[in-house]
Copies of this chain bind each other. A is one copy, B any other.
């Protein structure tokens, strides 16, 4: 379903292991790419520890001001997996073992192996829809505008692929990149700012990166109006060429 109103999203990454540096998050970039491709604006990301108060506060802050909130992490069988309980608390709804989720776990585990810890993975807040997990069966879920997904990147990706088609999407953001190469940002910043000011329908970013040969700068024009993006791109290409840039460093 496509709408003309902006569709926005936030990501909440839940996990001490990201904050300690032990695990390097890969899910933020994956979800960002995915949402951008389908016309959803990712507006904010937060990473919080495995602590109830922090999770509940973040869930409520982010779900109230975005069309969607996507969480990753904290839905396994161990004591530090508290995401489902925290989402239930954030919504003020009860949570218990869900027969549909239990049936999914029984596709992987024999009944005699479905111990109390594993049954934790079937605890789903009341009123939620399940999100299938083709890899290890323990489901994610959707409650209201919040999607709760696994933290393991391969499972998160599989859940996202299932969720994607159910999302309301906006007009796709078009993006054009102009290579400024080793032309210094300070050489084009003044005129680029004037172009940005005169073209409020697009957003223009200038992104330096470093190579062994020095800075390599890129200018990115983003917007939903194809003609506006095309015109601004042309103006910036002209600016960069005039200043002698445009060759990769």
Question: Which residues does A use to contact B, with CB under 8 Å?
Answer: 13, 15-25, 28-29, 32-36, 41-50, 54, 76-80, 109, 113, 115-118, 120-121, 135-136, 152-155, 173, 175, 185-186, 188-190, 192-193, 196-197, 203-210, 215, 220, 222
How many copies of this chain are found per oligomer? 2
Which listed residue, B19, B29, B173, B210, touches A25 by the CB 8 Å rule? Answer: B29
**Assuming A47-B28, A189-B78, is B136 touching A23 (CB within 8 A)?**
no
**Assuming A46-B45, A77-B189, A192-B78, is B29 touching A28 (CB within 8 A)?**
no
Nearest CB in chain B: distance from A106 CB, A: 13
Chain B neighbourhood of A120, CB < 8 A: 189
A36 and B24 CA atoms in complex are apart in Å by 14
Task: Please determine whether B54 and A44 come into contact, CB atoms closer than 8 angstroms.
Answer: yes
Nearest CB in chain B: distance from A232 CB, A: 13
A152 and B136 CA atoms in complex are apart in Å by 38
Task: Please determine whether A50 and B185 come into contact, CB atoms closer than 8 angstroms.
Answer: no
**Assuming A22-B175, A54-B44, is B190 touching A116 (CB within 8 A)?**
yes
**Assuming A76-B208, A154-B210, is B25 touching A117 (CB within 8 A)?**
no
**Assuming A189-B78, A209-B152, is B220 touching A17 (CB within 8 A)?**
yes
Task: Please determine whether B50 and A44 come into contact, CB atoms closer than 8 angstroms.
Answer: no
A35 and B47 CA atoms in complex are apart in Å by 15
Which listed residue, B109, B189, B204, touches A186 by the CB 8 Å rule? Answer: B109
Smallest CB gap from A119: residue in B:
B186
5 A-B pairs with CB atoms under 8 Å apart are A16-B203, A20-B32, A22-B207, A44-B46, A120-B189
Which listed residue, B54, B189, B204, touches A117 by the CB 8 Å rule? Answer: B189
Chain B neighbourhood of A115, CB < 8 A: 186, 189-190
Task: Please determine whether B32 and A136 come into contact, CB atoms closer than 8 angstroms.
Answer: no
Please name 4 further chain A to chain B contacts, defined as beta carbons within 8 Å, in addition to the given A15-B205, A19-B41, sorted by A numbering. Answer: A16-B203, A24-B29, A78-B185, A118-B186
A210 and B157 CA atoms in complex are apart in Å by 13
